[in-house]
Amino acid sequence: MPLTRQQASRNQRGRARAQETRDQLQPAKKSRGLVPGERKFARRNPPLPLDHFLYPGREAHPMAPFRDEHLVLIAPGSELTLAQLGLPEAYCPAKLRLQTRMFPAEKPGEYEPHRIRKVTTTSTSTTAPTTTPGASGQPPKEDVEMKDDGASAPREETAEGTEKAETEPEPAQEVIYEEDVMSDEGAVYPIRDGRIVNRNALFALIQHVYNLLSPPLHTPILIVAQPSWTQTDREEITRFVFEHFSTPGFAYVDAALATAWGYGVLNALVIDVGKTKTDVSAVINSVPQRYGRGIALSGCGGDAMTDRLLELLGSKGFTREMCEQLKRSDIAEILPPGTALPGAAATAHQSTPAVHPGESAGGNFAPTEGASDNNGTDEGVLDVAAIVSGDTSEYLANMEKDKSTGKKVDPKQPNAQKERASFQFEEFVEMENDAQAGGSKRYKRNTREITVGVERFLAATPRQRAGPLLSNGILEDIASQVQYAINCCPNDKRNELWSNIIIVGAGSRVRGFNQALLGAITQKFLNSPSASIFTSEIPSTFSTPLPTGGTNTPAQMGPGQAQPSLQHHPAAHGLNPLLVAATHNNPGIPAAPGTPGMDQGQQHRAGHFQGPTVIKATKFPEYNSEFKGRPNSNAPGASSGPGSTSRGGHGPEEAAFLGAQVCAKIFFVIDQGQLKTFMARSEYNEFGPEGMGEFCIA
């Protein structure tokens, strides 16, 4: 638009008008709190001042305060959904763990938590499998306990299906609806690769979880949101929660943020290794960074390692299930890059025939003698009815005991030096010859020992058939993403991120994974502090202050918890201590004689960054003793479904759930909505689900 003289003369008038318009806008903005942008813009500084949480003296939310025991946490993942009602005294791993899957119900669009099979029978007997003690009432507590075993033990579950069966005890041609808790046939998986692919099924799952927890009315809900969820997904879940439950408050927390808080840090690079994907997120001042965030890096999860093992061992007669259990077992290990494989196989590992399935010559994987002796038929048979009648945990505990006593461990040699090792492979086999009325199934548990060679160290090596991806193994892919994510962050924060790497997720449970990943990142990106006198870079730790004892960390908010010890451990996690020492000593190196002008030029460039000189992992705070246990066991349940829940302790890989507990405490109990960390029902009524974006901090 060419400038006319008239316009130029309107200059003054125009400016006045602009001012006028602005003045008009101001009151308009205030009166209409509805403009979605306005308040968001007011929060121009995303870093959440955590100190505010410590001063709850301000105007509280006009509703009765929430209590610790009345909080519902739900963390849906691609594979497992973790949930819990109430915060325990010391934060602990999730009490309720379910597979994230639903089954289509009879009516299209509805879902059941278990597969319902229609059995037409002429038998007159009452339905044997459905006469459960818990069938009449609400899901009792023990039901929740049983969830710990996930699908590892066949069990009966109270649901509509059984009740239908109970009401029809008529003889002749009756239709029995039977729940098959073992089967995953026809299952619908609401979340795949972290993305919500079937919203209705996810809603059904949330409903199911909610029913299992059966919380009281005044119960706020916190959902751990995966990074892959879009704004629309979040809004739809908000709508569902408010319209189906009587919840007075609802909040999201980003999984990466929850993890960082679980570790008690505000700045971290969170690597979440899941089933089929990995998320890499940089968290700065408790805000997950959007740019360069590695969302659902495909082919970088636990499944990729299983697939790689299958690729290596498939020709040796291994099934996928065997590889899965091998991956979970103690003998599978990922060695740090550069480590030689044990034995002569180190040079030609790809071609080494290394599998020696038992001693039996004929059968491929016939149970070895020892195995069949120890776990003979008597405890190898799981009786569904026996379990249903209530003594599940005892029953399984006995079996576990038997199993563990049968293990022979060589204490001398570390696994990484053994050329061969064996693990117990366990599977359930349905017994054919059993003809109990009502269709109850009996399962035989077979245990056998399988010996594997050095292939067990190669789970993270690049796959042969990687599709179009030019992958160099999952470790390098993740390492690239880590570098990309950090390089998208502001300059002055990068060093802090490089030295605060957190690796979580079930995929990281594979033995040695964390060290190997750190090693891969280090060897690809570390700029070691050179002794070169020309080095003008300020040592990286210079701009990375040590955390100050945790006075403003969320972790401190936990009830009855000791002061977190957040000191850095310079030599943590396989990093060369000499390297660290060299970094710290850097200031002591005398400046080059010929560059006296250096100081002036360099001083203001201290924030400039030349790649990491320190790469290390954040140490998991020790006071979370409940999250200690980290046994790698290929639980027998592993064979009953794709990667079922394993019994035993859950370690720092579930830090996201720990962080979710911290968040719930802060959001609902301590802060009580002053910082709009959650959406209250009155606010939902006012703004609708679209307003949710303003009620979560990340």
Partner 1 sequence: MNPSNPPQAAEYGGDEVSAIVLDPGYSTTRAGFAGEDAPKSVIPTYYGKYNYEGKERLVFGDNMFVQPRAGISVHNPIGKDGIVEDWDMAEKVWEYSFASRLTATKPDNPFHNGLNDISSEELPAEMEVETDEKPLADTPLLMSEPGWNPAKAREKTIEIAMEKWGTPAFYLARNGVLAAFASGKASALVIDIGASNISVTPVHDGMILKRGVQHSPLGGDYISSQIRALFKKNSPQPITITPHYLISSKTAVEAGQPPQANYRTFPADRAPDASYRALQEERTLAEFKECVVQTWPGPNKLSGPGPRESQTKNSLAARRAVFGVDRFRVVESLFDVKAAIPDPDSPVPAPTQAQTLPEVIKASLAGVDVDIRPHLLSNVVVTGASSLVYGFTERLNQELMTLFPGPRVRVSAPGNTSERRFGSWIGGSILASLGTFHQMWISKKEYEEHGANIVEKRCK
Taking CB under 8 A as the criterion, which residues in 170-189 touch partner 1? none
Taking CB under 8 A as the criterion, which residues in 601-640 touch partner 1? 601-602, 605, 608-611
Give yes or no for a contact between 250 and 678, defined as CB atoms under 8 angstroms apart: yes
Is residue 491 at the binding interface for partner 1, with CB under 8 A as the rule? yes
| Smallest separation, CB 263 to partner 1 (Å) | 24
CB neighbours of 251 closer than 8 A, spacing ≥ 6? 220, 221, 222, 223, 663, 664, 667, 668, 677, 678, 679, 695, 696
* Conformation bin of residue 40: beta by default, left when phi > 0, alpha when psi is -120 to 50: alpha
| Smallest separation, CB 525 to partner 1 (Å) | 8
- For the four alpha carbons of 506, 508, 512 and 515, in that order, the dihedral sign comes to negative
Nearer to partner 1, 198 or 393 (CB): 198
Pairing of strands 501-504, 268-273: parallel
Give yes or no for a contact between 420 and 354, defined as CB atoms under 8 angstroms apart: yes
Is residue 471 at the binding interface for partner 1, with CB under 8 A as the rule? yes
Taking CB under 8 A as the criterion, which residues in 212-241 touch partner 1? 228, 230-233
Q: Which residue in 24, 350, 417, 625 binds partner 1 (CB under 8 A)?
A: 24
SS3 684: helix
The one-letter code for the residue type at 227 is P
Give yes or no for a contact between 468 and 265, defined as CB atoms under 8 angstroms apart: no
| Smallest separation, CB 430 to partner 1 (Å) | 34
Segment near partner 1 (CB under 8 A), from 143-151, 257-265, 427-435, 522-530? 522-530
Residues in the chain: 698
119 DSSP β-pair partners: 176
- For the four alpha carbons of 378, 380, 385 and 391, in that order, the dihedral sign comes to positive
Segment near partner 1 (CB under 8 A), from 9-17, 154-162, 542-550, 619-627? 9-17
Residue 674 sits at φ, ψ, to 5 deg, of -65, -35
Is residue 195 at the binding interface for partner 1, with CB under 8 A as the rule? yes
Of 568, 502, 505, 497, which Cα lies nearest the Cα of 267?
497
| Smallest separation, CB 204 to partner 1 (Å) | 15
| Smallest separation, CB 482 to partner 1 (Å) | 9
Segment near partner 1 (CB under 8 A), from 24-32, 347-355, 410-418, 499-507? 24-32
Give yes or no for a contact between 612 and 526, defined as CB atoms under 8 angstroms apart: yes
Is residue 121 at the binding interface for partner 1, with CB under 8 A as the rule? no
Taking CB under 8 A as the criterion, which residues in 39-58 touch partner 1? 40-41, 43-44, 46
CB neighbours of 412 closer than 8 A, spacing ≥ 6? none
Is residue 294 at the binding interface for partner 1, with CB under 8 A as the rule? yes
| Smallest separation, CB 470 to partner 1 (Å) | 4
Nearer to partner 1, 451 or 528 (CB): 528
Per-residue interface string for the shown chain with partner 1, residues 331-350, x marking contact by CB under 8 A: ------xx------------
Q: Which residue in 487, 543, 552, 674 binds partner 1 (CB under 8 A)?
A: 487
Structure tokens at 111: 């879902």
Taking CB under 8 A as the criterion, which residues in 578-607 touch partner 1? 595, 597-598, 601-602, 605
CB neighbours of 176 closer than 8 A, spacing ≥ 6? 118, 119, 120, 121, 127, 130, 165, 168, 438, 439
Is residue 530 at the binding interface for partner 1, with CB under 8 A as the rule? yes
> In angstroms, rounded to a whole number, what is the distance separating the alpha carbons of residues 632 and 650?
10
Q: Which residue in 476, 653, 671, 683 binds partner 1 (CB under 8 A)?
A: 476
Q: What is the largest CA-CA distance in the chain?
A: 102
Nearer to partner 1, 144 or 225 (CB): 225
Nearer to partner 1, 612 or 621 (CB): 612
Q: Total residues contacting partner 1 (rule CB under 8 A)?
A: 90
Nearer to partner 1, 40 or 58 (CB): 40
| Smallest separation, CB 24 to partner 1 (Å) | 7
